[in-house]
Each structure stands twice: as C-alpha cells, then as structure tokens.
Amino acid sequence: MENDKLKYADERDKSYGIAGMAIAVVAYDSESMLASVSMDAEPGHAVEFGSEFYFSGNPRLSAKIAWTEIIKHFRLATGLLVANAMSRHYVQHRRRLPADVVDALRCAVQECGSDDETQHDADEIDAVLEKNMDFFDRLFQMSAVHEVTHALADELVRRRTFSAAEVGDRLAPMMRYL
C-alpha cells in the first residue's frame, strides 16, 4: 500500500489489516486459493496465494470465462484492500472509515483496475469498489466478526504466520454470518 493514508501505523495496525484481508478471502469463498498469511512478509505479500490464483490465461478458454476469472480476481483484490482498511478502522479503532481513507482506497483501486492487464473502465471499477464497500461495511459492523478479528489479529502478532488451513479454522465461527 503506497498511499500514506493506507500505510500501517505499527505492527498492531498491520495485524488488523492482515486479519481483515484473511476475512475477505474467506468471505469470498477463496480460501482454496490461499497459501498463507504472514506478518513478516514483504510489503504487498502478507497474503500469499497458491499458483491457482494467478490466472495466466489459457487459449482454450472462451473469452467470457477468461473475463469472468479476471473480474473475480479484481473483485477479491479490491475486497482485500477494503477489508484491510475496515478491519483497522471499524474493529481496531472502533470508527468508520474517514473520507480521506475512502479516497485513498478509490485511487488505489482505480490504479489497479485500469492497469494494462485488466483495463476495466471507470464505471466497472467504481461498481466493484462500491459493492465491496457495502458488503464489508455490513460485515465489519457485526460484533461476532469483531470478536473473530480481534482474536486473529492477536494471534498473528504472537505466531507471525498462518497456513491457509489455520486461517480457515480460526475464521470458521464467522462463516455463519456470510
């Protein structure tokens, strides 16, 4: 996260951001693509996906299927950003996202969505962002999700790294709210 408004303040803040991203992976039923989450990973790699996540295209796939996969990954990537910020603000600090953070998210998503590979138009990008904002706004307002997030963030600080299976085990109590 390059924008100053999206940077982590400290290790505790980072643990809530990573917990939020783990929640996004589970919320989008993408844990089968998850490899691990780590506090000690290089910036931008705290959530590590397996090779099946990295869609490289296949000439035998129809254009519609390929586009659907690209949109699915863009939706998840956007969800990771939004859930990271909401976990840190809603759960850790118990406040809504400030307007400047929402603006920073919008800029980051616009930059990601308009890159050479995806080439989404502005309306598509805004629709994906708004859908994620609405979904995670509802999710991160639930007290049960707060409990799971606090527990995962605390344990991340102590353990540093979790495998995909461990993330799934810790977030299982949240599944009934999705």
Tally of CA atoms within 13 A in the half-sphere of 168 that contains its CB:
12
| pTM score | 0.89
User: Can you say whether the dihedral through the CA atoms of 143, 149, 152, 154 is positive or negative?
Assistant: negative
Mean pLDDT computed over 134-147: 94
Contact 82, 90 (CB under 8 A): no
pLDDT in tens, 153-170: 999 999 999 999 999 888
CB 74 within 8 A of CB 113: yes
Give pLDDT, residue 70: 78
- Does residue 117 have a pLDDT over 80? no
pLDDT band at 122 (very low <50, low <70, confident <90, very high): confident
- Say which residue the tokens 């989404």 belong to: 120
User: What proportion of the chain, given as a percentage, has pLDDT over 70?
Assistant: 89
- Residues 6 or more apart whose Cβ sits within 8 Å of residue 153: 12, 15, 16, 18, 19, 87, 91, 92
Range 9-177: architecture per CATH:
Up-down Bundle (1.20)
Query: What confidence category does residue 116 fall into, taking pLDDT thresholds of 50, 70 and 90?
Result: very low
Would the pLDDT of 133 be above 70? yes
Residue 1 has pLDDT above 50, yes or no: no
CA atoms of 114 and 146, how far apart (whole Å): 33
Q: Where are the domains of the chain?
A: 9-177
For residue 156, which of 3, 8, 2, 1 has the smallest C-alpha distance? 8
| 47: β partners | 37
The C-alpha atoms of residue 96 and residue 140 are separated, in whole angstroms, by 10
